[in-house]
Structure 1
């Protein structure tokens, strides 16, 4: 089966997980700090409810597939097909009432992301990609769901670039210094976008996203979305970003090359 064959099932996962999450958004939530007080890393009832729903659907429909998720132990992670799930990427935004969070759903085949979706259940937007093409669907001002193709925009220099990172404070001090080289030159820098930053890059509104400390479930679904829109996602040293870590995404390969040069100077 190809990634396209799984697209309808991903839509079902998105719908079901969204139904599990929406009742919790902008309400009083019980929080748990997964970091045990080291660096605030919240998890909510909504995270667990959504991932539980998706896991049950996957195991019932594709029992031979593996699952790697944020909230529960891995299930058959060495399978040929593995689902990589982040029920709420941007939990800090979620608990603060900001809609810059989303559900990340990725299908990997032999360790490589072949289909990804970022679903924003509150705005009812979906960003989808298979590495060759990407699209957006969501309601227009009249409430009708429409779909259009995503394309990154040309941007050859950092002086023209809009850059994003969730927060430089999430980086280690040395990484923060390296990122500052880019921010000092960029036309505009913004913070706090989480997964939404990568989708805005794919949509041609942002040019560069630089992050560190990512887990596989933070980035795997976003790689085929950015790539399908014409962008590129790698680690800071130019390697495969599917495993997380230090990640840089650019809408223009020329800008990507400049960013790598700045980060590794």
Structure 2
């Protein structure tokens, strides 16, 4: 695909982000209905309103494409092109009034993420990644930080509870040798990797809608995203992800994750 070939899909992704943001903003730091899902994670009427708004646009403009969404499930999953939607990644941050959540929008072709958007609708920050293009941040460009040595690297991850015991041990083997590690941030951390503010994010037990949009954003900014075995991420990945601003960190990180 050339840059020109992606432009129409990028425009659709921006339209989805605008629609989701318009649905979310009235609820932020306001009253809204909230429920616990079967996995004990929260869901709000803002999540549902945002995904419904995006799905309506896709059904109108891309009716042959598949859709995978966190709140309303899957349609046409076997299509060659599949849009993957997470209306609010970081719902716990949203419900506590912290603008560290984001709307995630990805386009997969043959199971591979080729377009990704992270949109923070309160701060009006948007990262747009597309295969073969440099990641954009708002009206400019994103770029990772050069950091070849683990001892100089700053890492982030969402929460200790997101790891199993063995996975948390593996994460700790990495971060004990790093300069620093922070908790919290959800998808916003990956945007910070793309901006050179964080050097890495390590997470586990993610769903496709949690990570698909992040891959083009991080890699288009000069970084790398892989699973814990060093394989590229896609529709069949197991939800264990590593995002790094500098690919020279990949070998030492994977070595420690593997024990």
Asked if the contact 2:145–2:199 (Cα under 8 Å) also holds between the matched residues in 1, the reply is: yes
For the 8 Å contact 1:213–1:244, the answer to whether it is kept is yes
Q: Give the structure 2 partner of residue 219 of structure 1.
A: 211
1:185 aligns with 2:177: yes
- How far is 1:24 from its partner? 0.6
Q: Would the aligned equivalents of 2:87 and 2:102 in 1 still touch at CA under 8 Å?
A: yes
Paired position in structure 1 for 2:137:
136
- Residue 15, structure 1, aligned to residue 9, structure 2: no
Residue number in structure 2 paired with 1:167: 159
Given that 1:198 and 1:226 are in contact with CA atoms closer than 8 Å, whether structure 2 keeps it comes out as yes
For 2:82 and 2:157, locate their aligned partners in 1 and report how far apart those are by CA, in whole Å.
28
What CA distance in whole angstroms lies between the structure 1 residues aligned with 2:165 and 2:185?
Answer: 21
Q: Take 1:92 and 1:110, find their aligned partners in 2: how far apart are those partners?
A: 32
- 1:45-194 to 2 correspondences below 5 Å: 45-132=45-132, 133-137=134-138, 147-194=139-186
Q: Distance in 2 between matches of 1:3 and 1:175?
A: 37
1:8 deviates by: 1.2
2:112/2:233 contact within 8 Å kept:
no
Q: Kindly state the Cα deviation for residue 244 of structure 1 after the two structures are TM-superposed.
A: 5.0
* Deviating 4+ runs (over 2 angstroms): 1-5, 240-244
Q: Which runs of 5+ in 2 are unaligned?
A: none
Q: CA deviation at 1:28?
A: 2.3
Residue 251 of structure 1, CA deviation? 0.6
CA spacing shift, 1:193–1:16, aligned 2, 3 Å: same
SS in 1 for 2:21: helix
* Structure 1 alignment gaps of length 5 or more: 138-146
Cα distance between partner residues in 1 of 2:131 and 2:96: 32
- Paired with 1:124 and 1:173, the residues of 2 have a C-alpha distance of 37
- Deviation, 1:84, is 0.2
Pairing partner for 2:193 from 196, 201, 208: 201
Q: CA RMSD in A?
A: 1.2
TM-score by length of 2: 0.95
Q: Distance in 1 between matches of 2:216 and 2:147?
A: 20
- Mapped contact 1:231–1:253 kept (Cα < 8 A): yes
1:219–1:244 Cα contact (<8 Å) kept: no
- Structure 1-normalised TM-score? 0.93
